Structure 1
Amino acid sequence: MQNTNTYTPNEMKMRELMEKKQYARALEMLAEIVRQKEVKPEFLYDGAYAYFMLGDYDRAADWVTNTLTYAGMSVKARLLLARICLAKGRTDDAMKLLEFLLTKEAAQLDAAKKNEIRMIGSSLAYRDTARTHRDFPALGAFVLGAPQQAVQAQNMSGAGNAPAGASDAKRLLAKLKQKIEQTQGNLPKGIADPVGTATASVPAAPVSSPAPIAPAAIPAAAQESDGPDAAAQARSILARDIPAREKVRILTQFAGGYYTAHDPACAEAMLAAALRVDVSDWTLRNMALVQADLGNKEKALAFAAQMKRTDFLLLHVLRDV
């Protein structure tokens, strides 16, 4: 970073606003700096970062482009661009950027940057480990380890040395999938899956149960998980200086990766962390399915009961778990 003794008063003010995380005011100050027609690359990056933190990913990408025009070797700008791609659902572009950094800029990666690559890459690499190793070999080796190790880790739940309860989890997962497919196939024509539709909030429908179900204890959910590594990972994501919806997105992606790898306990830890940030119907629905997969029917129903909109498809699945 440039010596602060060379900063103009406006640059000093912008640096102060960025440190205080007052991003909207920092962008106003950046506009003043731009009018001076001599903008240092580090403030171009600050503009990109401020837009990213405010959730304006298109302008953030534009300012990353500006940064790379004047500082083409900026590793932190490329890392920010990878985060922007991830936020916009451009997962392949994000992985290409990480692969580039690991192969072309490895000498410029300190421990903090490597940790960020691992954090971003982990939410992507586990979706398809074989493809990651094939198309992004450096990223695959960095995040997943050697290809054979990744395959062994992914197949552990089906092996003879699988942890206790893994076979039950797989059986429940198969049952849930079958029930969803049967229910979707039996929906009357013209009736769509209610999840995600823009309808008014409806009180949760009563659920047949021997006794009233207390609301799920979201803060305690992570403590109940059998995945301490996942819980630590979740705490690390929550502590990051990124927008709340970005935290939820990353946590949900990690949860999906763990769930696909037949590790519902770790998926539970990730979703519990996401619910601390934003108690959305979609996350509650995912948590209910994870609890069902773990064999915790009452917890699953409790999470479903907290949803603002009644999801009959989910209730139909949970009813027969």
Structure 2
Amino acid sequence: MKQCQTQERELEQAFDQEKYADVLNILAELITANDVKPDFLYKGAYSYFMLGDYERAAQWVNNTLNFDPQNVEARILLARLCFIQNRQEDGLSIYDFLAANYQNSMTKEQKEQITDSSAYYVRREGDKLRQKYPHLAEFLQLKENAAEKTEPARTADTGSSALSALQRLKAKLEEVQAKNNKQAESETHVDGIPKQEETVTDKLADVSIEQQIVNIQNRTCSLREKVQILNKFAAAAYMAADYAGAMSYLQAALQLDDGDSQTIRNMAMAQAAFGEADKAQAIAAKLPEVDFVLLYLLKEQGR
């Protein structure tokens, strides 16, 4: 028993530190010692999931639910496995079941996981959600109503704060560009041969943009998280004045969710910086609501 207690602590520590291979090794020893608990089985399922072995992850989810049919975390993980395997309807059915039976007992984090990974389907297939998954639709609608009630309180200062942030970004870009120009003029060898320049994007990545996009698309996370990651990479490329690279990341994000407002705004700014004023205006027109701050910035960019 003492040995098992020690291994249980080691398993918890390895899981917290995201050492998933170690989790599986310790778990095998505990099972051999007949120390089987639903929480340990779930940690095994999640570890296989994070290591990319989705078949074993599904098997261990089933093992978890056999011991603990009420395990909400295991069902959420099963839904994520369905989404990864393009079984969207199965995943949404699981969420619908959870919304119908466990909404009051779910933690805040669990509710956020369901909301985040369902956001794409809310925008793209809202009518279908309401018809086929009424409990999930009601659960998500409650979230949307809560968000709408708090939105007006922030509307008053949105334009000024956004403009201020973009002005700071513009100043930062000018500062970086001036510094790069100064270094380009001064950095030469004693024999007069210029040093080979290394761009910011070279420092940021050891692989091509195309490969980075593929890596992000293959991550084990929700579509919303992938869109957010692609936007962050696009921001890094934009800061390095690599507008073509920024547009590549943003185009990949739009392929995942062509209705994401933040991606549309970022694409419009990247198009404008690239000198494609007409395309920038066209992409900005796809926003569900008119954004005067964005239109002002596009107008200034085109001067």
Report TM bin, short chain: 0.5 to 0.7
Report if aligned partners of 1:17, 1:25 keep a CA contact under 8 Å in 2. yes
Indicate the RMSD between aligned Cα atoms, in angstroms: 4.1
Q: Which residue number corresponds to residue 69 of structure 2?
A: 72
Distance in 1 between the 2:274 and 2:252 partners? 10
Give 1:280 deviation, angstroms: 11
Match for 1:104: what amino acid?
N
Q: Rate the CA distance shift 1:76–1:291 in 2: closer, same or farther, 3 A.
A: closer
Q: How does 1:1-321 map to 2 (within 5 A)?
A: 8-145=5-142, 245-247=219-221, 249-252=223-226, 271-273=230-232, 283=249, 285-286=251-252, 290=264, 294=268, 296-299=270-273
Distance in 1 between the 2:131 and 2:69 partners? 28
Moved more, 280-289 or 14-23: 280-289
Larger Rg: 2
Q: Rate the CA distance shift 1:125–1:291 in 2: closer, same or farther, 3 A.
A: closer
Give 1:65 deviation, angstroms: 0.3
Match for 2:103: what amino acid?
A
Report if aligned partners of 1:292, 1:300 keep a CA contact under 8 Å in 2. no
Q: Which residue number corresponds to residue 192 of structure 1?
A: none
Give 1:37 deviation, angstroms: 3.0
Equivalenced residues, count: 196
Measured against aligned partners, the alpha-carbon deviations of 1:2-55 in whole angstroms (never above 9, x if no partner) come to xx9995222222112111111111111111112123311111011001111112
Match for 2:85: what amino acid?
K
The alignment partner of 1:139 has SS state of: helix
Distance in 2 between the 1:272 and 1:301 partners? 20
Q: Rate the CA distance shift 1:292–1:81 in 2: closer, same or farther, 3 A.
A: closer
Percent same amino acid among aligned pairs?
27
Match for 1:297: what amino acid?
Q
Match for 2:23: what amino acid?
A
Give 1:96 deviation, angstroms: 0.6
Report if aligned partners of 1:45, 1:64 keep a CA contact under 8 Å in 2. yes
Match for 2:82: what amino acid?
C
Greater length-normalized contact order (CA 8 Å, ≥ 6 residues apart): 1
Match for 1:139: what amino acid?
L
Match for 2:130: what amino acid?
H
Report if aligned partners of 1:24, 1:50 keep a CA contact under 8 Å in 2. yes
TM-score of the superposed pair, with normalisation by structure 2: 0.53
Match for 1:250: what amino acid?
R
Distance in 1 between the 2:104 and 2:248 partners? 41
Give 1:297 deviation, angstroms: 3.0
More helix by share: 2
Give 1:285 deviation, angstroms: 3.7
